């Protein structure tokens, strides 16, 4: 299996009002085709920051990020957007749905940069993705007309519309009741069974969920450490 995503000694920090935080201080990771990786760690440890760097939404301060062998520092912002729209599916911790747009339009958004697809194909893909999460009948709803769980599923459909080879999920069940959360994970795991090359990287606070992944890492002291994920029930 070939490597689809890697971080090599990545550092990323922020300065706000003279105060400096450095959540990533030498984080390294290698993800292969078909991998199912979970990442856990305390609140504020940098999990979302890590996922944003993995998803090419933010550039690291130092270190190397490679997606399918391409070092992302070599790409312009425009090339990076195009790359994201064809390879990476991203589910944000806080959904980031655009409220003035319908669910369907939100789902089609990552395809905006795709010149290889006609408007009709983009619409068809978006509808198919909404169907995958059971929301085809809500295509014309605005986000605020949807429940939290439905918004989460729209956010997942938006990632699926890309037909990604790498799927990055930031707390995809964090806002859901256990039953809806379980159905969301079933959708994702079914997708991986249908597409065995799909790499899934899941950030979660839920140790039961983390334990479902083939490998689990803890983000601590700015670095990633391989750890056995122990489900709550056997602790
Ligand atoms: N855009 C930003 N500007 C300034 N500081 C930021 C920014 N993004 C993250 N941080 C800071 O980086 C640190 C890590 O934040 P991050 O959101 O990555 O944590 P997290 O592990 O995802 O937490 P949680 O489990 O609560 O979602 C925090 O101290 C946060 O304040
Ligand atoms: Mg987070």
Instruction: Report pLDDT digits (tens) over 144-168.
Output: 999 988 999 999 999 999 999 999 9
Q: How far apart are CA 135 and CA 217, in angstroms?
A: 33
Question: Which structural domains are found in the chain, ordered by start?
Answer: 3-234 (3.40.50.300)
Q: Indicate which residue's Cα is closest to atom 29 of ligand 1.
A: 44
Pocket of ligand 1 (CB under 6 A): 14, 16, 21, 23, 41, 43-49, 93
- In order, the DSSP letters of 66-116 are EETTEEGGGS-HHHHHHHHHHHEEEE-TT----TTS-HHHHHHGGGTT-TT
CB 58 within 8 A of CB 49: yes
- CA 47 / ligand 1 centre spacing (Å): 8
Q: Indicate which residue's Cα is closest to atom 28 of ligand 1.
A: 44
Give residue for tokens 């009948």.
137
Ligand 1 pocket, mutate which of 11, 15, 39, 47 (most atoms under 8 A from CB): 47
What pTM was computed for the model? 0.93
- Residue 113: pLDDT above 80? yes
Which of the four pLDDT bands, split at 50, 70 and 90, describes residue 234? low
CA distances from 156 to 8, 16, 56, 65 (A): 28, 31, 18, 24
In percent, the amount of the chain with pLDDT more than 90 equals 75
CB 111 within 8 A of CB 122: yes
Compute the mean pLDDT over every residue in the chain, rounded to the nearest whole number: 93
Please give the DSSP secondary-structure letter assigned to residue 46. S
- Residue 203: pLDDT above 70? yes
The minimum-distance atom of ligand 1 relative to the CA of 93 is 27
The minimum-distance atom of ligand 1 relative to the CA of 13 is 12
Which of the four pLDDT bands, split at 50, 70 and 90, describes residue 235? low
Q: Model confidence over 206-220: pLDDT tens digits? A: 999 999 999 999 999
CA distances from 66 to 62, 74, 183 (A): 13, 10, 32
Evaluated on CA atoms 146, 150, 151, 157, the torsion sign reads negative
């Amino acid at each position: 299996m070939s490597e689809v995503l890697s971080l090599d000694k990545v550092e990323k920090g922020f300065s706000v009002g003279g105060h400096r935080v450095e959540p990533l201080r030498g984080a390294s990771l290698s993800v292969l085709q078909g991998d199912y990786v979970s990442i856990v760690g305390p609140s504020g440890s940098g999990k979302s920051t890590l996922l944003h760097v993995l998803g090419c939404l933010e550039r690291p301060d130092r270190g190397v990020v490679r997606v399918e062998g391409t070092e992302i520092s070599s790409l312009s912002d425009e090339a990076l957007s195009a790359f994201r729209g064809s390879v990476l599916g991203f589910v944000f911790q806080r959904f980031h749905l655009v409220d003035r747009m319908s669910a369907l339009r939100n789902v089609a958004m990552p395809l905006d940069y795709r010149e290889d697809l006609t408007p009709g194909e983009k619409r068809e893909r978006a509808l198919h993705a909404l169907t995958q999460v059971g929301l085809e009948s809500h295509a014309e709803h605005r986000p605020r007309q949807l429940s939290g769980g439905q918004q989460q599923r729209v956010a997942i459909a938006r990632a699926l519309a890309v037909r990604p080879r790498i799927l990055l999920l930031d707390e995809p069940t964090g806002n859901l009741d256990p039953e809806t959360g379980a159905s969301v994970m079933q959708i994702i795991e079914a997708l991986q069974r249908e597409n065995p090359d799909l790499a899934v990287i899941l950030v979660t606070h839920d140790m039961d969920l983390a334990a479902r992944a083939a490998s689990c890492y803890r983000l601590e002291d700015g670095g990633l450490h391989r750890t056995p994920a122990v489900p709550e029930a056997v602790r």
